[in-house]
Structure formats: C-alpha cells, structure tokens
Structure 1
C-alpha cells in the first residue's frame, strides 16, 4: 500500500511538471507575441507621426500661398511657390526625424580664453 502511494505521488509530480512546462512555454510564446506587437505599434506610431508632419507642412504651404495670392493678387505664383516650399519643408522634417539629416546644432559657448585673446593683449 505505501508503494502504491509513492507511485501515485510520482505520477502526480510528473503530470504537474508536464503541466508547468506547457504553461511556461505558453507564457514564453505570449511574451514573444506581445513584444512583436509592441514593435509593430511603435512602427505604426512613427509612420503616423512622419506622415502627419509631411502633410501638415504641405497644407501650411498651400494655405500661405492662397493667402498671398488673395492679398497681393499674384494668382498662380504665390500658391506655386509656397506649395513647393511646404513640400521641401515637409521632406526636410521627415529626413530630420528619421536621422538622415542632422538637426542644426545649438551655438556652443566659446572658451573664455578665446575672448581674452581677441583684444590682442
């Protein structure tokens, strides 16, 4: 009878081990799927940001062109010029956001020894 009980415990232990292994495998698969979907969401967010920046630059250029045409009476030329300018600004914004073109660096503070040497002393 006690051996029967030991066999029963070993059998239950084996089933529990197999069940835990299956659950851990499922959790690992879920974690990988979640990481993949997170990466996909980040890519979609970046794509939406870039497209909205590009389109808004073109719309602002077109609006400024229409206003200049209306105010000064330069019927096609204001719209053409500012629409092209908006397009170029949109492309530049997208290139800067992707890192293809570096952003403008801020003025670096000059060394104090350089200022003192300017007077010729």
Structure 2
C-alpha cells in the first residue's frame, strides 16, 4: 500500500490518475498557454535534425532509384539503361525531398 491510499480504498489505475492530472493541468492554463504549447509541438526541426533528415532522404531516394534500375536491367536483360535512368530519377526525387523542409526555413 502506498501512503496516499487508505485500507478501504480501491486501487486507482494509472490511466485514471493521469487523466485527472491532465484535466487539472488544463484547468490551470489559460488559452494563451495552450496556444504556445500547440506551437511548440509544431516547432521546426533543430539544425542537426534537419541535416540528418536531409541526408537520409537524399541517400534513401537515390538507393531506391538505383535498386529499381538495377532490378529492371537484370529482369529485362539491359546493361545499364534503367540503372542510369532511375539513378537520375532517384537523385531528383531526393533533391525534392530535401528542398521541401529546407525551403520552409526562410518562409
């Protein structure tokens, strides 16, 4: 038994205690605090997070393009036609994926 419970009390679940605490916290905050909290949850990425995301998206798009091109070349019997084509398409897709979040920084 913990110090807050009495011998005749029923155990209260964690979820119900959490809901009660959230309701109390919402009651104490004004509308201004709630809007600040919502803005913080939609905050931009940190510089390191943005750089890691950009690098990952670029490499992933290029890898997918190369894999598709290689697979089509092997399947259809070409030497490197689709590999070159899909490598270029993957690079362009990766650059577009990088441009979207980076372009929002200055706006």
Q: TM-score, normalised by structure 1?
A: 0.47
**Alignment partner of 1:70 is 2:52:** no
**Superposition misfits of 4+ residues, deviation over 3 angstroms:** none
Q: Which has the higher contact order (CA 8 A, sep 6+)?
A: 2
Distance in 1 between residues matched to 2:53 and 2:91, nearest whole Å: 16
Residue segments in structure 1 that go unaligned for 5+ positions in a row: 1-40, 101-121
Q: Which residue of 2 aligns with 1:58?
A: 62
**Alignment partner of 1:87 is 2:81:** no
**Secondary structure of 2:80's match?**
helix
**Which has more radius of gyration?**
1
TM-fit CA distance, 1:99: 2.3
Q: CA RMSD in A?
A: 1.6
Distance in 2 between residues matched to 1:74 and 1:81, nearest whole Å: 12
Distance in 2 between residues matched to 1:92 and 1:42, nearest whole Å: 20
Distance in 2 between residues matched to 1:96 and 1:42, nearest whole Å: 15
Structure with greater helix percent = 1
